[in-house]
Structure 1
Amino acid sequence: MNTKMRNFLKKISLKHTLKNIIIDDENHLLKLFFKDLNFLFKKELLVRDRSSGRRIHIPLKNNTCFIPLQELSELTDDGNLDFYFIGYIAGRSLKKRIAFNTNLKQAQFIDESTKREYKIRKTVKNNLTIHSTKTSFKQKVQELKVIGNNFYLNGSIEDLDNKKPESAEIIFKRRDTNKFVGFTLEFNKGMAKGRFNYSGIVYLDKFNSALVVNSRWDAFLQLRNIKNEVVYRKPINLQSYSDFKNEEDRFLLNIPNTDEFLTSLYATMGLNSLALWYTDKIQFDKTYQIAKGKTVFNETADNEPLDNKMVFFESFFGKNYSGNPKYVYEELIGNPNFKDYTFVWSYSGLNPDDIPGSPVIVSRESEDYYRYLAKAKYWVSNIIFPVKRKREGNVYLQTWHGTPLKKLGFDIDIEGPETLARENFYIESRNWDYLIAANKYSSEIFERAFKYNKEILEYGYPANDLFYQEKNEIIQTTEEIKAKLGIPSNKKVVLYAPTWRDDEMAGSWEHTFELKFDIDNFYNKLGDDYVLVLRMHHLVGDALVIKDEHQSFIYDCSKYDDIQELYLIADLLITDYSSVFFDYVNSKKPVLFYAYDYEKYKDNIRGFYLDMEEELPGPVLKNGQELLDAILNIEEVKEKYHERYLTFYEKFCSIEDGNASKKVIEKVFKQ
């Protein structure tokens, strides 16, 4: 049986939906309920310990499997149990992992008869797994409340293994530094043998300077015996405290520390364990609104059908009408086959009237955002959505936003903000159905860095179609954009578009930046013939102050929605480690690389895929004077780098032909 036929048979014979999974405490059973099963083929459930390979086979009856907890307990001492369907067709067997239905809740429970703790989990590939481990205690939080400027909690402990605890503590562990802060709890025997009560106050003053903005701390219950030995230390489980029906219910208690900052106790996703978060109120409000939005998304997904003629667009977290999503959208609204479609744009920028057509416009902070996201069959984004749940029938087109120079995802070895985002992108990429790439080089990196194994559309970028219009159209568009920005038609344009630095964070996703060349000198030498257009990265705060005497020379277009239009008017691009030059080379105009911190960035921050000094289509300049000299002698620079430029264009831009948007539409939006 060849691979293609085998995969086809698996798809039709082992298709399933895990409707529910529950624990029957009274009968000591794990029960799995399925729907959408194909009963033309014989099948059974297989449970396998991931480490040892030990397994049990369970018959399937009336869409249900009952698994004795005693049998589960014998599979592993401390490990993950994976679940499969085994199908039998013509004397052959086929195997497929049980998928975790996104309607299900991750949970944990303790079976007193086998003295084991079970954690029902979703893997990063959206499959079911259960972690099984031996435990000696069963814990339960009874009460959480605020007392003054501190938190109070009490709960109970059941001693399942006669460990005879004598004292209890609550330990907070900071996630990024592993720093610990502990508090002694009152610990008393309960009414029944082997049952204990604990209570205590978490004094925020004890955290001292370690309670920094956006630090997160996980809470552990720690028990000691009469010899002061630690006999138990596990995250404080809140599952019995609340069912967290709504996502925003996870934020349990808040203490305002100042007018600007607060400390929040909340239940983590997945583990439902207690955690503490110190943050500013603006960030908390945003996070809380996202949680409320997820509740709206779930309610809509559970109660309303997908709209097969609705497309939801977002570019750079809704900050811009720009990028590949913009050009896919404009291709769609210009195609009569999609005249009866509803288009929704996530947009919070300054110019909603600039979006053509008649789209529904929603803000990322609104409930409508999540309602429309849940209803739309098609999703188009170039970054990441705030929800990880994807409905059956959703089609997710990830357009991405550039050819990578800096390392991405799992290619990054150095710790920092990018590595913290890595897991989010990995989880997000499990939902992508299509990913656009501008060249073969990008495809290979995306597959590895995102661990992505679905379809890559190597068509070029829709946003780069702009460079391949008829010459007269380009001239007309250039004149219109210059007029809109107030740039004199007789002035040449130098576009400066640097990246953000991973090491210049001033707070939570707030960054600092200052120009690293002498503006006065540039103005004196270039002001008669050029204007300087600044386009700072979207993660860099707007902190630049332009002197009055430079107003006619410097144009700050950092908030201009579409950088693609700035490429069109630019006669010369200056960048550093940003991927913008890969797109700009489609214009066949010169590029200068101003890399004043090259050695530091290359070795200590993220690292590059290319050798900048050997492979880039322009010089790497290390100081402001070198940069100014290169601009003043740009024709000599063009001549010197002519051959390298052509080689670079052939490798990274040669598949661009102005038809990427059309190709994407034909592939993704099937009629």
Structure 2
Amino acid sequence: MNKRTSRRSNMDKKEIGYRLFAMVYGMCKIFPRKKNRVFLVMTHDAGPEGNVGVIRNYLNASETDWEFCPLRRKDTNFSGPDKVTQLVRFFIRKPYELATSSYVFQDNVFLPMAFIKFSKNVKVVQLWHGTGTIKKFGQDANEGRLKQLEKMANSTITHLIVNGEKWKSLYSHIFSVKEEKTFVTGMPRTDILFQEEEQEKKVERFYEKYPELIGKKLVLYAPTFRDNELGEQKLHLELEQMLKRLPKEVVIGLRLHPFVADQFQYRGEGGERVKDFSHYDQLNTLLFASKALITDYSSIIFEYVALRKPMYFYAYDLEKFSDEGRGFYEDYSSYVPGQVSKTTDELIAQMIEEQTCEEVKEQWEEKRRKFQEENYAFEDGNSTWRLMKLLKME
């Protein structure tokens, strides 16, 4: 069996599950819908700082008594001694909760919705999990049956939320949603990026948990996951070289994909200056606590730019990723708000240059400022409030 046949067979099996979920949903529509029940698809970020998590916390603090029904990634994992319980929960309880909800918030595409027809008054809100994007995704990246199912699932969306006018047309295309269903309110997870007091509280709690980092300069390395890295036990960034050449107070914080993080362990010199935050569930807090970011093709830059801190782009496989991967919406090297490097030596030199040369520092500060202006319609920390007002949930 070749790879294409294997993928098709796997998709066929998954589609049976999607259809079963939808069938049970249809049966559960005989039950009355609850006006204050909210179904939360949190399969990308189940933490409190993701878009859906922020919505939940906001509603929890309101005077209305909301009831939340979360669906997390772990709810789709049917293994171990509780397999039967997990199957019953996913294929019976979750369809019932969805069928009796008046609001649905998503940070991902939930493919069983390809076969679901919601009642007219149900509001289905796609928030996605990124504030913007560098690389192509959705209808621009998927193919075959997956692309068809995704388009069918997205046809249920009543409100597609974006961060700025720039994204309205593009995201409408990516999700195959009409522009009149796409709304520029700003993303809920960005509110705290403009609330300095809240940031300080989170950083204070961070240092309570990691007191050894007090007085250090945390540089966060958050690379994009590549499919060919599955099970790899190494990083392409030469950490030992970084630690030798950067100031002693610099600590490298790793934010790796779980598939990579579970295999990787740093064994070089200066191990006390390498911290693994791959499973830390509060990404925004890491951004607040860090002094600089190293990434490549991740959408994390759209949040980080609002913090006005240095960013560096270690794109060691730029040509390969562009030609053989998903590809980009813009010319990568001229678009990103930071210097691009392809080797660790080049990256280190750029970091030192920006910290020691005032002209270079000001040049990239200006580039980041313009990048933020292009990607943010609002910088007031009230995006969640605007969304709630739009949905008449305020």
Q: How would you bin the TM-score normalised by the shorter chain?
A: 0.7 to 0.9
Identify the residue that residue 665 of structure 1 maps to in structure 2: 388
CA gap of 1:216–1:642, structure 2 versus 1, over 3 A, is: closer
Identify the residue that residue 116 of structure 1 maps to in structure 2: none
CA gap of 1:215–1:561, structure 2 versus 1, over 3 A, is: same
1:397 and 2:109 equivalent?
A: no
Identify the residue that residue 376 of structure 2 maps to in structure 1: 653
1:611 and 2:334 equivalent?
A: no
Residue type at the aligned position of 1:215: S
Matches within 5 A, 1:316-355: 316-317=43-44, 320-336=47-63, 338=64, 340-347=65-72
Aligned 8 A contact 2:233 2:263 in 1:
yes
1:314 and 2:105 equivalent?
A: no
Please, what is the CA RMSD of the aligned residues? 3.1
Q: CA deviation at 1:408?
A: 2.8
- Structure 2 CA distance, aligned partners of 1:616 and 1:211? 38
Identify the residue that residue 24 of structure 2 maps to in structure 1: 296
- Structure 1 CA distance, aligned partners of 2:255 and 2:151? 29
Q: Once the two structures are superposed, what CA deviation does each residue of 1:161-202 show, in whole Å capped at 9, x if it has no partner? A: xxxxxxxxxxxxxxxxxxxxxxxxxxxxxxxxxxxxxxxxxx
Q: CA deviation at 1:596?
A: 0.5
Identify the residue that residue 567 of structure 1 maps to in structure 2: 287
Q: CA deviation at 1:457?
A: 2.0
Q: CA deviation at 1:622?
A: 0.9
CA gap of 1:547–1:287, structure 2 versus 1, over 3 A, is: farther
1:467 and 2:258 equivalent?
A: no
Larger Rg: 1
Q: CA deviation at 1:517?
A: 2.0
- Structure 2 CA distance, aligned partners of 1:601 and 1:216? 21
- Structure 2 CA distance, aligned partners of 1:418 and 1:566? 34
CA gap of 1:486–1:290, structure 2 versus 1, over 3 A, is: farther
Matches within 5 A, 1:474-513: 474-485=199-210, 487-502=212-227, 504=228, 512=232
CA gap of 1:496–1:457, structure 2 versus 1, over 3 A, is: same
CA gap of 1:421–1:290, structure 2 versus 1, over 3 A, is: closer
Structure with the bigger RCO (C-alpha within 8 Å, sep 6+) is 2
Identify the residue that residue 452 of structure 1 maps to in structure 2: 177
SS of residue matched to 1:387: helix
Matches within 5 A, 1:213-362: 215=6, 277=9, 292-301=20-29, 303-317=30-44, 320-336=47-63, 338=64, 340-347=65-72
CA gap of 1:505–1:533, structure 2 versus 1, over 3 A, is: closer
Residue type at the aligned position of 1:588: R
Matches within 5 A, 1:583-594: 583-594=303-314
CA gap of 1:425–1:212, structure 2 versus 1, over 3 A, is: closer
CA gap of 1:316–1:322, structure 2 versus 1, over 3 A, is: farther
Aligned residues between the structures: 375
Residue type at the aligned position of 1:407: K
- Structure 1 CA distance, aligned partners of 2:10 and 2:329? 37
- Structure 1 CA distance, aligned partners of 2:387 and 2:93? 27
Identify the residue that residue 179 of structure 1 maps to in structure 2: none
CA gap of 1:477–1:431, structure 2 versus 1, over 3 A, is: same
Q: CA deviation at 1:346?
A: 2.1
Residue type at the aligned position of 1:477: K
Q: CA deviation at 1:604?
A: 2.8
- TM-score, normalized by length of structure 2? 0.84
Q: CA deviation at 1:306?
A: 1.4
Q: CA deviation at 1:664?
A: 0.7
Residue type at the aligned position of 1:559: H
CA gap of 1:527–1:418, structure 2 versus 1, over 3 A, is: farther
- Structure 2 runs not aligned, ≥5 long: 76-86
> 1 or 2, which has the higher helix percentage?
2
Residue type at the aligned position of 1:369: K
SS of residue matched to 1:606: coil
> 1 or 2, which has the higher strand percentage?
1
SS of residue matched to 1:641: helix
Aligned 8 A contact 2:40 2:70 in 1:
yes
SS of residue matched to 1:630: helix
- Structure 1 CA distance, aligned partners of 2:226 and 2:194? 32
Matches within 5 A, 1:37-436: 210=1, 215=6, 277=9, 292-301=20-29, 303-317=30-44, 320-336=47-63, 338=64, 340-347=65-72, 365=90, 367-388=92-113, 389-392=116-119, 393-402=121-130, 403-412=132-141, 421-436=146-161
Identify the residue that residue 552 of structure 1 maps to in structure 2: 272
- Structure 2 CA distance, aligned partners of 1:313 and 1:377? 11
Identify the residue that residue 84 of structure 2 maps to in structure 1: none
- Structure 2 CA distance, aligned partners of 1:397 and 1:548? 46
Aligned 8 A contact 1:397 1:668 in 2:
no
Q: Once the two structures are superposed, what CA deviation does each residue of 1:278-319 show, in whole Å capped at 9, x if it has no partner? A: 79xxx97x8776665444323212x21211110011223575
Q: CA deviation at 1:460?
A: 1.5
Q: CA deviation at 1:420?
A: 6.2
